[in-house]
Every structure is written in C-alpha cells, then in structure tokens.
Structure 1
C-alpha cells in the first residue's frame, strides 16, 4: 500500500494540510492500524504535486508558520480511481492494514468497488480457514532452553494460536455481514441476486 494513495483518498474528502492529515490518522483513522509520521507525509506531498495529482495554496497563519492546503486535481482523481479499480491481492496475514485502507479509501468511491473488494477478501479468508494443519505447530520437535517447560510452552502457544484463529473467524463474520449490507443497499439480495423490480435502482447506484 503506497502512502500516495492514502493521501489521495484523504484529499478526495476535503482539502488538507499535511499537519491535518497526521491529526486525522491519530483521530478518526487511528483504528485502521496504519501509523504514519508527519515527516513521511511531508516527503510524499511534494511528489503528489510533482505528479500533477495535487495542488496547494498557502494559508497565512497569524503568529504561526504559514500552512500549505492541498487539494486533489483532476489527474489526482483519475489516479485514485485507477488504483481503486486495480486488482486487489489479499495478504496471507488476516486483518492486514492494506485491506482496511483499500476498503476505506477505495470503497468510498462506489459500491461496485466495495463489493468486489469484500468478495475477494472473503473468498481468500474462507479458503485460508479451510486449509488443514493450522495446529501443526504442536507436533514440531523442539529443543528449548532449560528455562522453558515444554508442556507449558505448548499450552501458551496453543492459546496464542486460538486467539488468532478466533479473531480471524470474527473477521470473516464481519466481511460476510458487510458484504450483505452493501448488496442490500444496492438492491441485491445477499449473494448478489437482484431484488425483483430493483434493476433500475441498482443500475443508477453503480453509474
């Protein structure tokens, strides 16, 4: 996930200064799990301008350094849409920040993008959950240091794996629920079948 597209996604919502972008990530965006420091943002913003994806105007501040307020250009909107519609490849790690960022900043651009993203992620996680051997670690031969009691260590390892497994199961439930909600909002029954008489509504939603 490139920071360029995160910043373009923010600028699609409203003009931002670099400082306000950082405040957003520490505030409304803090649960996404994508930590970016202010110097990183300041390094990327000039690249957005150089690429023609953003422009800025200087906002004078009394008693404070002037602020640069960045806005999305037409070329920036095109780049954001191209990225949002590009193929998404899930990470082997469930609940990876890349999915959450794409869900937020690509999904906000339309229900068709949101549904495709959710379906791709859900199909991948269901396949992953069905893979055998998620507890194979319990049979691995170990030669621990004297301070480790092997039966106790395996108890702790199992608990840690169960924590991850249960979180993944909850994540899959969220994906299923959210996909169903987006399909209902678009005039489809869960599973993608259009409701009777809803074709016009669906088509207007996706244009």
Structure 2
C-alpha cells in the first residue's frame, strides 16, 4: 500500500522523500497509515526501478540537494488502474485502506469519490444490522481464576458498546459526506 500512497501523493505534486515523510508524520497520520522515513526512501527506490517515478536533483540554497520525485506515464497509469479497480471494504470499521482509497482515488474525480463512499456506507450499514451476540459471549465466560467473570463481562460489553458507537459516528460521517458530494456541481 505504501507504493500506492506515494504514487497518489506524487499525483498531487512533485515531492522529495523528506517531504513525503514529513507529510506522513503530519497531515497523513490521520489516514491511519504510519511509515518511517527509511521505508519511504526504500519504496521510492523500488518505484524508480519499476519506472513508475523519476526524479530530478534540486539544488537548495543553504540545504542539502534534494531528489524531487514525480510520476512517469506508467506511474500515472498504475495509479489510475488502482483508482478504477473495485473497492472492497475491510471488515474493520475505519480501516486505513478506506481512507487511502477515498483520499487518493477520490481526488481523481467526483464519481470515484462517491462510489467509494457509497460502497463503504452500504457495507457499514449491513455490518451494524447483523446481530453481535455480545450476551452469548459474556454469558459463556469461563475465565482463569485470576479473572472475575462479572467484571470481564462488563469490560467486554463496554468495549463492544464503544465500537458500535464509534461505528455509528463513522456511518454518520459517511452519510453527510456522501450527501455533500452528491449535491455538488
């Protein structure tokens, strides 16, 4: 996925490896995909070898020279192929793969963004309609001696309730965002 993330960011503008790492530690951390600077540089090297990105050395006054990367025609096509491929939601709500798809494919056009949102929203609505059977789980506990089954049941229920509430908020965001996008010119 790091390959795709880098291709998507380079589609927005040419960047150095350092700038990519800085973005991932800054605004990018909210998409839920964390990487280190060495991972960024290794991936950039592989993308250059595969002919998906190229670079120019940019002289920077008072700073070390920087390789500034940009997409090649093959890199652009690779990103477009990924963006137009079917999106399949992960079972885990708020999965980083959704936000990457929404962010990097969605910027390519309104229809793509709406399709990704609609697919994710439909999947999450179906997910919350499915009974969770938390009572069956908490009622059948047979923990080790160090665990109080009543307390364990309360903790399990609290975690379950937080997950459902968080998913409900996420569904609300999906609904509002989808409506906003559908109503734009």
Q: What is the TM-score of this pair, normalised by structure 2?
A: 0.93
Distance 1:134 1:77 in 2: 46
Deviation at 1:134, TM superposition (A): 4.2
Q: Which residue of 1 aligns with 2:85?
A: 86
* Number of residue pairs aligned between Structure 1 and Structure 2: 184
Distance 2:141 2:133 in 1: 18
Distance 2:30 2:116 in 1: 19
Deviation at 1:143, TM superposition (A): 2.4
Distance 2:161 2:94 in 1: 16
Deviation at 1:144, TM superposition (A): 1.8
Specify which structure has the bigger relative contact order, considering alpha-carbon pairs within 8 angstroms and separated by 6 or more residues. 2
Distance 2:104 2:74 in 1: 17
Q: What is the TM-score of this pair, normalised by structure 1?
A: 0.84
Distance 1:28 1:133 in 2: 34
Q: Which residue of 1 aligns with 2:116?
A: 117
Structure with the bigger percentage of helix: 2
Distance 2:69 2:133 in 1: 47
Distance 1:32 1:81 in 2: 20
Q: Which residue of 2 aligns with 1:171?
A: 170
> Which runs of at least 4 in structure 1 moved beyond 6 Å after TM superposition?
none
Q: Flag structure 2 segments of 5+ consecutive residues without an equivalent.
A: none
Supply the RMSD in Å over aligned alpha carbons: 1.4
**For residues 150-197 of structure 1, what are the alpha-carbon distances to aligned partners after superposition, in whole Å with 9 as ceiling and x for unaligned?**
1111111100110001000110111111111110004xxxxxxxxxxx
Q: Flag structure 1 segments of 5+ consecutive residues without an equivalent.
A: 187-207
